[in-house]
């Protein structure tokens, strides 16, 4: 069994949906995981935001624009009258229901219900398109088998039992289509795997079905050595290890949801990144094998808060770090970067839900400074801390102000903390210092 996931752009236009059809229609048995059509989830988040801010009028305008876009797409894609009627009714019922929701009281459940509609729409439309093209495909509702537990982790046992049950109860097919992103929570309410979560759906399914490979089909020819949204002339990397890709995804490489490789890494199921618009390109193969040495890729994560905790009493004292960590532990807030000096410790967090309470507690035994709007720039590659080219990256110290450096925490990662306003310049300059002055063996 193979698992193929197609992202928003891949199902976002008729031309691309035709590409997807051609890619999946090759006689191999597979589960096809689809995201919402591009722009849809953002629009649905906007609808939810308007409802939250007591602005149902603007929520209705967004819904109306979306309805018109979908009606045009469906009209052009589905030309068989019977199938067109079915899809038209489904799509318009969805938008009618959304219109009713705009007057409801906002809560997380309402948000989850609204944002789940994107994947429900794309899979319904695409599976009917396949039916029109006489391709035998069965739609498996993700809400019948995909579930998270009370810690918001996938409930693998439940998913395995129920996915197999749903497959066994369905007519035999070569292609099973399902929704990415959406799931149920422990109480059975509609929930999701967070933004970008369709990648995660694909590897969770890949793991429970012991798939031969998970393929993530997107709008770029693989994992690039820097963020192509900010840097020109980035290049695709042919091979990455699970560790390298996990680190890059966690530190902001948008091409993969941060958790993507977690479910498959232990099972050693390869993940292949491919371009729907350029299927012949090699893409990136992620396995447990490590290829080459030196810096392979750079990524950046925004929304970081730095906290400096100073105490004169820390000098020569033991137990200070324990006290600091206990505060973060109590508020279940994880720390990304940390540096220490004799009288201070600086660390970063990305979840600021409990920041105020944390600072209040730290204040009782230290002087605390908080800096917002920071970014972590992360450089990843096998054994980079030993590589002779690595020092090139430190030329960046002449260009931007670096607040923290984490070097040596692992052999494969160096992280810099900078102001988010310096991110673009930092990424561009690092591209020059690190990749354009030499070539890395990959
Ligand atoms: P999908 O909708 O298919 O899930 P995403 O937008 O989530 O696609 O991810 C693909 C995008 O990620 C690319 O178009 C690119 O702009 C962005 N991206 C950021 N960092 C990287 C990187 N290191 N390599 C490739 N793409 C990246
Ligand atoms: N549609 C969801 C989002 O935009 C999930 C995904 O695309 O992976 O976040
Ligand atoms: Mg994505």
Give residue limits of the domains in the chain.
2-219, 297-435
- How confident is the model at residue 209, as a pLDDT? 98
> Is any ligand 2 atom within 6 A of the Cβ of residue 41?
yes
Cα–Cα nearest to 353, from 371, 334, 338, 337: 334
Cα–Cα nearest to 417, from 320, 349, 322: 349
Fold of 297-435: VC0802-like (3.30.2130)
Is it the case that residue 312 has pLDDT exceeding 80?
no
> How many whole angstroms from 132 Cα to the centroid of ligand 1?
31
> Is any ligand 2 atom within 6 A of the Cβ of residue 126?
no
Considering Cα of 427, then 433, then 434, then 438, what sign does the dihedral take? positive
Give the predicted TM-score (pTM) of the model: 0.95
SS3 (DSSP) at 214: strand
Question: Mean of the per-residue pLDDT values for the chain?
Answer: 95
CATH number of this structure's domain 2-219, picked from the four choices 3.90.1860.10, 3.20.20.70, 3.40.1160.10, 3.40.50.920:
3.40.1160.10
Ligand closest to Cα of 200 equals 2
> How many whole angstroms from 70 Cα to the centroid of ligand 1?
24
- How confident is the model at residue 22, as a pLDDT? 97
Distances from the Cα of 326 to the Cα of 333, 348, 361, 371, angstroms: 10, 15, 10, 21
SS3 (DSSP) at 294: coil
Angle between helix 56-77 and helix 40-52 axes, rounded to 10 deg: 160
| Average pLDDT for 103-109 | 95
- How confident is the model at residue 410, as a pLDDT? 87
Confidence of residue 74 (pLDDT cuts 50, 70, 90): very high
Is it the case that residue 442 has pLDDT exceeding 60?
no
CA dist., res. 368 & res. 324, Å (int): 11
> How many whole angstroms from 68 Cα to the centroid of ligand 1?
27
Confidence of residue 308 (pLDDT cuts 50, 70, 90): very high
> Is any ligand 1 atom within 6 A of the Cβ of residue 254?
yes
Confidence of residue 314 (pLDDT cuts 50, 70, 90): low
Query: In this predicted model, what pLDDT tens digit does every residue of 24-72 receive, in sequence order?
Result: 999 999 999 999 999 999 999 999 999 999 999 999 999 999 999 999 9
Cα–Cα nearest to 168, from 199, 184, 145, 201: 145
> Is any ligand 1 atom within 6 A of the Cβ of residue 219?
yes
- How confident is the model at residue 342, as a pLDDT? 82
Query: In this predicted model, what pLDDT tens digit does every residue of 392-401 receive, in sequence order?
Result: 999 999 999 9
> How many whole angstroms from 339 Cα to the centroid of ligand 2?
34
Q: Which of 254, 272, 286 has most ligand 1 atoms within 8 Å of CB, for mutation? A: 254
């Amino acid at each position: 069994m193979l698992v193929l996931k197609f992202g928003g752009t891949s199902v976002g236009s008729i031309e691309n949906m035709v590409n997807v059809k051609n890619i999946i229609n090759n006689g191999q048995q597979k589960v096809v995981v689809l995201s919402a059509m591009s722009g849809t989830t953002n629009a649905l988040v906007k609808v939810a935001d308007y409802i939250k801010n007591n602005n149902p009028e603007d929520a209705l305008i967004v819904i109306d624009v979306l309805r018109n876009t979908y009606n045009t797409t469906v009209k052009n894609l589905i030309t068989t009258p019977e199938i067109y009627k079915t899809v038209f009714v489904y799509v318009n019922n969805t938008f009618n229901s959304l219109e009713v929701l705009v007057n409801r009281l906002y809560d997380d459940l309402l948000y989850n219900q609204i944002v789940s509609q994107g994947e429900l729409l794309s899979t319904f439309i695409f599976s009917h398109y396949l039916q029109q093209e006489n391709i035998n495909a069965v739609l498996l509702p993700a809400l019948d088998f995909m579930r998270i537990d009370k810690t918001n982790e996938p409930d693998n046992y439940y998913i395995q039992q129920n996915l197999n049950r749903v497959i066994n109860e369905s007519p035999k097919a070569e292609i099973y289509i399902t929704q990415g992103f959406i799931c149920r929570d422990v109480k059975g309410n509609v929930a999701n795997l967070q933004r970008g979560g369709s990648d995660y759906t694909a590897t969770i399914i890949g793991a429970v079905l012991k798939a031969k490979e998970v393929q993530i089909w997107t709008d770029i020819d693989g994992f690039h050595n820097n963020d192509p949204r900010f840097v020109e002339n980035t290049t695709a990397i042919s091979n990455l290890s699970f560790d390298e890709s996990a680190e890059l995804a966690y530190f902001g490489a948008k091409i993969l949801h941060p958790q993507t490789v977690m479910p498959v890494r232990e099972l050693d199921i390869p993940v292949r990144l491919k371009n729907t618009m350029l299927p012949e390109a090699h893409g990136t193969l992620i396995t447990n094998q490590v290829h080459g040495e030196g810096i392979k890729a750079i990524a950046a994560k925004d929304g970081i808060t730095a906290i400096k905790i100073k105490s004169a009493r820390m000098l020569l004292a033991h137990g200070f770090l324990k006290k600091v960590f206990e505060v973060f532990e109590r508020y279940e807030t994880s720390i990304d970067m940390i540096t220490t000096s004799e009288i201070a410790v600086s660390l970063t967090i990305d979840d600021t839900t409990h920041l105020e309470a944390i600072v209040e507690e730290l204040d009782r035994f230290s002087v605390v400074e908080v800096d917002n709007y920071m970014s972590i720039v992360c450089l990843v590659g096998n054994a980079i801390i030993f590589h002779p080219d690595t020092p090139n990256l430190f030329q960046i110290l002449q260009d931007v102000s670096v607040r923290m450096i984490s070097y040596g925490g692992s052999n494969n990662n160096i992280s810099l903390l900078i102001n988010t306003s310096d991110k673009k310049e930092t990424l561009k300059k690092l591209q020059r210092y690190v990749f354009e002055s030499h070539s890395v063996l990959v």
